[in-house]
Chains A and B, each alone.
Chain A
């Protein structure tokens, strides 16, 4: 079963300040955590894709009616908390395993190595065949 595990810039459960206020060691630990997790998912044969997205400053919103010129809004956006920060796609044996991975992601180390407790979304990817009939 395939799941997309999404993180956005939303409020964290630990009132963790933004990364710009972390020490270099905190940032290094955070990045190493993400890399180690990806390596582990690959090693277990579960990783399909993992991407971080460029910051909200570079985001664009595009609205079109299909005939006139599209309306393009550039950042920065006051509501950037709603935006996606990154995602992983994993192919795992159970729903429980996807949740377990999401819990690890949510507990990534932040300021002073404390878990940032970021709300992390787990979504089943369509087009998985049915579990056996």
Chain B
């Protein structure tokens, strides 16, 4: 059993390196990706039984190359077979990959022309080494559907027709941003879905962290990459405390801070400190700085709200994102009282319209301000609009407790709006 797990972990580390080597040699990213996936499956079944080959990476590259050649033996692929045969003259006898192509692969899989819905599964498979079945299970869709999604994404990549190399220095800014965005989405997907230990579902947050570590290893000097990794670690550190025994949401203010993962917090803080030293912080560093202030606070009340507010001010000026503005209103309420927060919310209705989060934040602030009737109505409005089941459970419970009167709401002494993606 341990042997299988070791093999699986090793294979997922080797996957992008094998793929990079095969693409470098033969081109044809989409076909190479299929071939490497087949080689990974072959390894997963034969290695635990027959023992690990002496050079596992070379084994994968060799098997994938053979699979690729097999693919091209079909008649309809004659043209590509000829291209491949031509390129074979360049192949060294024994593959010795000199490059770690993880970043190049990621730039390709997260190409800005791909929608996140296409880029996410492609990245998880090509770079993360997950199988289609595992990705399908993580997103709760049938395997055939996920297979189609990946194959359509690859068909698009095929059309890019660009060299398999890193963009020139300074020319990859937008491409890198899109990689970070995709990783952040994968992390959030896992974070929103995780409801306790579920061994049958791939841990997407953990996978996003692993991939972000890979990008950080390739670009240790990029402060935003470091910032994103720090943000993930500082957020993930709270995971053990953010769900109750029944899988219910535990908002930040009610979490048992003793259950936060100190090791992750320490690592995140170290990374963040290094990144912030490099100058003007970007979006992910600012978000990480906010997460860090929460993680370092002894209690919710003792959180450094004025500094969090200042960070949200900068973040909002930088992004113009109305969700950031919403969090800023929460910080404002904590720093200067609920009325100040409510005043900020009034200006957001134009942008956020009827979004459930606007109702939810207003509900919490009205409750803080002592307007129980208004808070109940807003909690109910938010509950009717959310598409997250656990969030709805939380919101209807809040409304019911307030409606039941002061004695019932004392059962939960930590009432406060949720900040961030808690």
Contact = CB atoms under 8 A, between A and B. Distances in A.
A46 B145 CA distance: 6
Contacts of B421: 130, 133
A130 B388 contact: yes
Given A126-B387, A129-B189, A48 B117 contact: no
Interface in B187-214: 188-189, 191-193
B192 A91 contact: no
A48 B189 contact: no
B192 A129 contact: yes
Contact of B392 (A91, A126, A133): A126
Nearest to A92: B117
Contacts of B145: 42, 45-48, 91
Contacts of B146: 45
Contacts of A124: 387
Interface string A43-54: 111111100000
A93 B184 CA distance: 17
Nearest to B393: A126
B387 A91 contact: no
A15 interface: no
A44 B151 CA distance: 9
Interface in B104-123: 115, 117
B323 interface: yes
Interface in A81-133: 91, 93, 124-130, 132-133
A128 B193 CA distance: 8
A82 B40 CA distance: 51
Contacts of A46: 145
Task: Summarize A's interface: helix, strand, loop or mixed.
Answer: loop
B142 interface: yes
B185 A48 contact: no
Among A45, A49, A133, max chain B CB count under 10 A is at A45
A10 to B, nearest CB: 24
B243 to A, nearest CB: 14
A36 to B, nearest CB: 15
Contacts of A91: 139, 141, 145
A127 B192 CA distance: 9
Nearest to B118: A45
B387 A133 contact: no
A133 B115 CA distance: 17
Given A129-B192, A132-B188, A48 B388 contact: no
Interface size class of A (residues with CB under 8 A): 20 to 34
Nearest to B356: A130
A87 B132 CA distance: 26
B255 to A, nearest CB: 18
Contacts of A2: 140
A100 to B, nearest CB: 15
Given A93-B117, A132-B188, A127 B388 contact: yes
Contact of B388 (A45, A93, A126): A126
B149 interface: yes
A130 B391 CA distance: 10
Nearest to A3: B387
B141 to A, nearest CB: 5
Given A126-B392, A132-B185, A48 B141 contact: yes
Interface in A40-68: 42-49
A129 B139 CA distance: 11
A38 to B, nearest CB: 11
B389 interface: yes
B152 interface: yes
B288 to A, nearest CB: 14
Interface in B135-160: 139-142, 144-150, 152
A84 B323 CA distance: 38
Interface in B370-412: 387-390, 392
B313 interface: no
B266 interface: no
A112 B58 CA distance: 63
B296 interface: no
A49 B144 CA distance: 11
| Residue of A44, A47, A129 with highest tally of chain B CB at under 10 A | A129
Nearest to B146: A45
B420 interface: yes
Contact of A42 (B144, B188, B323): B144
Contacts of B392: 126
A2 B189 CA distance: 14
A128 B390 CA distance: 10
Contact of A44 (B152, B191, B323): B152
Nearest to B117: A93
A130 B192 contact: yes
Contacts of B185: 132
29 contacts: A1-B387, A42-B145, A42-B148, A43-B148, A45-B141, A45-B147, A45-B148, A45-B149, A46-B145, A48-B140, A48-B142, A49-B142, A91-B141, A91-B145, A93-B117, A126-B387, A126-B389, A127-B388, A127-B389, A128-B387, A128-B388, A130-B357, A130-B387, A130-B388, A130-B421, A132-B185, A132-B323, A133-B188, A133-B327
